[in-house]
């Protein structure tokens, strides 16, 4: 915008000032090389300032990226992560109840205690119905080992079982994981009633659940 247009826009400026200013500019012109030099210096300074600013921003961005890359990711639990199983009498009996829901109950004549195959048999105290899963030789050996490992007497504070469990060898011999390993606690040819003497260990409960589920 030149002086005349500026004058027209703002108004109220004495006409003499405009004429004197025009006469002064015509009489005195700055050398072009000096103007060009000043402009070049100003452009250089501006470029240096912009370069410094751009470098600072770049360093900040790169620093942020490196920080994010080197920082350990937060441990977020997966939504589908399985809840650890609690190996208690209650969890074992829940497994027994779920398994027998898909099985036909047996009566005493169907137990086949002399057929040469090991089996785990259970019943609840209310129905009196029997249920069975077959055991491999290794499962039978592991069960007998855990039954004799560090037995702990059951007490009034112990979790009281609602199911009776027997392990049958296939030759007519019958024992229970709830009873101490002595001759008086072994049956032959038939299941027997009993009062629990021992607390089942977590490892034994885990193995029984495995045998029932597979």
Would you give the distance in Å from CA 29 to the centre of its chain?
80
pTM over 0.75: no
Do 127 and 174 share a domain, yes or no?
A: yes
Same-domain check for residues 149 and 198? yes
| pLDDT digits 0-9 by tens, 167-207 | 999 999 999 999 999 889 999 999 999 999 999 999 999 99
Whether 33 is covered by a domain: the verdict is yes
Question: Which pLDDT does position 54 carry in this prediction?
Answer: 52
Same domain, 100 and 65: no
- The confidence score (pLDDT) of residue 158 equals 85
Asked if residue 13 has pLDDT above 70, the reply is no
| 118 in the same domain as 20 | no
Say yes or no to pLDDT of 77 above 80: no
Domain region containing 60: 3-70
> Are residues 108 and 195 part of one domain?
yes
At 103-135, the pLDDT tens digits run 999 988 889 999 999 999 999 877 778 999 999
Specify burial of residue 185 (Cβ count, 10 A radius: 0-12, 13-18, 19+): middle
> Is 189 found in the same domain as 139?
yes
Asked if 184 and 134 sit in the same domain, the reply is yes
Q: What is the largest CA-CA distance in the chain?
A: 135
Question: Is there a domain that residue 77 lies in?
Answer: no
117 and 196 housed in the same domain: yes
Q: How many domains does the chain have?
A: 2
Q: What is the pLDDT of residue 64?
A: 55
Q: 204: closest CA among 185, 184, 176, 171? A: 176
Structure confidence at residue 200 (pLDDT): 95
pLDDT in tens, 130-160: 999 999 999 999 999 999 998 999 988 888 8
| Model confidence pLDDT, tens digit, residues 20-57 | 545 544 444 445 556 556 666 676 666 666 565 555 54
Inside any domain, residue 130:
yes
Q: Is residue 78 part of a domain?
A: no
Residue length of the chain: 214
Residues 152 and 209 placed together within one structural domain of the fold:
yes
Q: Do 184 and 127 fall within a single domain?
A: yes
One domain, residues 207 and 117: yes
The pair of structure tokens assigned to 195 is 């009062």
Is the domain of 66 the same as that of 94?
no
What mean pLDDT, rounded, does the chain reach? 77
């Amino acid at each position: 915008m030149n002086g005349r247009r500026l004058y027209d826009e703002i108004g109220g400026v004495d006409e003499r000032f405009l004429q004197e200013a025009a006469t002064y500019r015509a009489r005195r012109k700055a050398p072009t090389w000096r103007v060009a030099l000043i402009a070049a210096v100003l452009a250089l300074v501006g470029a240096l300032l912009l370069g410094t600013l751009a470098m600072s921003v770049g360093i900040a961005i790169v620093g942020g990226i490196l920080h994010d890359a080197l920082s350990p990711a937060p441990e977020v639990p997966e939504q589908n992560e399985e809840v650890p199983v609690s190996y208690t009498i209650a969890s074992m009996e829940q497994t027994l109840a779920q398994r027998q829901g898909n099985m036909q109950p047996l009566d005493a004549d169907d137990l086949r205690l002399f057929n040469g195959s090991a089996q785990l048999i259970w019943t609840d105290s209310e129905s009196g119905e029997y249920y069975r899963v077959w055991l491999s030789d290794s499962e039978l050996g592991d069960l007998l080992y855990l039954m004799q490992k560090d037995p702990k007497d059951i007490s009034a504070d112990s979790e009281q079982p609602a199911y009776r469990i027997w392990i049958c060898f296939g030759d007519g011999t019958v024992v229970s994981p709830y009873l101490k390993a002595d001759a008086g606690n072994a049956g032959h040819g038939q299941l027997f009633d009993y009062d629990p003497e021992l607390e089942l260990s977590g490892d034994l409960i885990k193995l029984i659940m495995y045998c029932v589920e597979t």
